[in-house]
């Protein structure tokens, strides 16, 4: 079994905090809960947004956020990514002069956890977009689901977290977590940009709902397949169909549902050999 290029680190003491409480019987309990801290993102001299995040991979988060908002271009040259942990700020610097004053005036609240925000026209990233050809084997979905849902993670350690995983065929490659799935997918976008990785030939797996925002970001990253344990929104399905994105949801044990791009599916799995999901590894997929 191949090692992930980036895996969750539930042992990182900076990402969780011990909190004392009381359980349903009145007995005292000690519980680890996920940290949530602000990160203010600047693009050159301009303040763009303050995001609530668990605090890991700030460079990837900031770069991915700016890419997915259309403020960074795929051919931009970065001249710096200056993170100040004490000030909780990061400045992304580019060779190109940038000014997004007008774009920042228009904000659309999205359905992402921790109040996702998309600046400008949400649809502009999809205009003229053509996703790469792809094949999706059902056996890959079952293998990915089993591996990802048993991988040591902050979710299994503390809950209240979402994960997004960049995969290739049946192998997870980069597994990012955060309080909102939009942050987790932005981290993956930033990692792809920094490492020169294109979306073709990849699958994006998310633990959260398949919303319009997730579809837009996945398509903007050039990834042709988006899969989740959770369910769909109507607009998410509509957008996926418009751009030709394969959309797989409700992945539980032997079951999954495809609501867009089924022509990419190859039903090669022996369902008798696929295990039902153990209760202790089930994610709720909420938020």
Average pLDDT over residues 228-252: 96
Q: What is the pLDDT of residue 287?
A: 41
Q: What is the pLDDT of residue 88?
A: 96
Q: Does residue 199 carry a pLDDT above 60?
A: yes
CATH topology classification for 136-281: Cytidine Deaminase; domain 2 (3.40.140)
Q: What is the pLDDT of residue 107?
A: 59
275 confidence band (pLDDT: 50, 70, 90): confident
Find the range with the poorest average confidence among 109-113, 119-123, 144-148, 276-280. 109-113
Q: Does residue 278 carry a pLDDT above 70?
A: no
pLDDT in tens, 27-51: 999 999 999 999 999 999 999 999 9
Average pLDDT over residues 206-210: 93
Extract long-range pairs of 281-286: CB within 8 Å, 24+ residues apart.
281/149, 281/150, 282/149, 282/252, 283/149, 283/155, 283/207, 283/229, 285/207, 285/208, 285/209, 285/228, 285/229, 285/230, 285/231, 286/230
CATH fold match for the domains 37-122 and 136-281: no
Structure tokens at 95: 């060779």
285 confidence band (pLDDT: 50, 70, 90): very low
Q: Domain spans of the chain?
A: 37-122, 136-281
Q: What is the pLDDT of residue 104?
A: 75
pLDDT in tens, 151-195: 999 988 888 899 999 999 999 999 999 998 899 999 999 999 999
Where b means 16+ CB within 10 Å and e means fewer, 220-245 reads: bbbbbbbbbbbebbeebbebbeebbb
Q: What is the pLDDT of residue 119?
A: 45
Average pLDDT over residues 265-274: 94
Higher-confidence position of 276 and 200: 200
Q: Is the pTM of this model over 0.85?
A: yes
Q: Does residue 4 carry a pLDDT above 90?
A: yes
22 confidence band (pLDDT: 50, 70, 90): very high
Q: Are strands 171-178 and 162-168 parallel, antiparallel or unpaired?
A: antiparallel
Q: Are strands 107-109 and 117-119 parallel, antiparallel or unpaired?
A: antiparallel
pLDDT in tens, 65-79: 999 988 999 999 999
Average pLDDT over residues 252-257: 94
CB distance 92 to 80 below 8 Å: yes
118 confidence band (pLDDT: 50, 70, 90): low
Tell me how far apart the alpha carbons of residues 13 and 162 are, in angstroms, rounded to a whole number. Answer: 18
Q: What is the pLDDT of residue 121?
A: 52
Q: What is the pLDDT of residue 284?
A: 46
Average pLDDT over residues 187-204: 97
37-122 maps to CATH 3.10.129.10: no
């Amino acid at each position: 079994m191949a090692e992930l290029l980036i895996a969750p680190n539930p042992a990182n003491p900076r990402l969780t905090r011990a909190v004392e409480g009381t359980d349903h019987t009145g007995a005292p309990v000690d519980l680890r809960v996920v940290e949530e801290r602000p990160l203010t993102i600047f693009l050159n001299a301009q303040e763009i947004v303050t995001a609530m995040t668990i605090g890991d991979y700030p460079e990837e988060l900031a770069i991915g956020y700016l890419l997915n908002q259309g403020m960074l271009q795929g051919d931009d040259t970065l001249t710096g990514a200056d993170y100040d942990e004490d000030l909780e700020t990061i400045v992304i610097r580019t060779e190109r002069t940038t000014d997004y004053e007008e774009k920042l005036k228009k904000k659309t609240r999205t359905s992402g956890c921790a109040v996702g925000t998309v600046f400008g026209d949400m649809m502009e990233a999809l205009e003229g977009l053509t996703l790469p050809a792809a094949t999706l084997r059902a056996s890959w979905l079952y293998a990915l689901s089993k591996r990802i849902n048993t991988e040591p993670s902050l979710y299994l350690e503390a809950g209240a977290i979402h994960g997004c995983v960049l995969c290739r065929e049946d192998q997870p490659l980069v597994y990012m977590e955060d309080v909102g799935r939009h942050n987790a997918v932005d981290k993956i976008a930033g990692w792809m940009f920094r490492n020169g990785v294109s979306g073709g030939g990849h699958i994006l797996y998310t633990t959260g709902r398949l919303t319009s925002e997730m579809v837009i970001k996945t398509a903007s990253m050039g990834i042709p397949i988006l899969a989740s344990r959770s369910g769909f929104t109507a607009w998410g399905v509509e957008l996926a169909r418009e751009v030709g994105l394969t959309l797989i949801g409700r992945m539980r044990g032997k079951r999954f549902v495809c609501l867009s791009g089924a022509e990419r599916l190859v039903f090669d799995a022996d369902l008798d050999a696929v295990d039902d999901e153990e209760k202790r590894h089930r994610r709720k997929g909420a938020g």
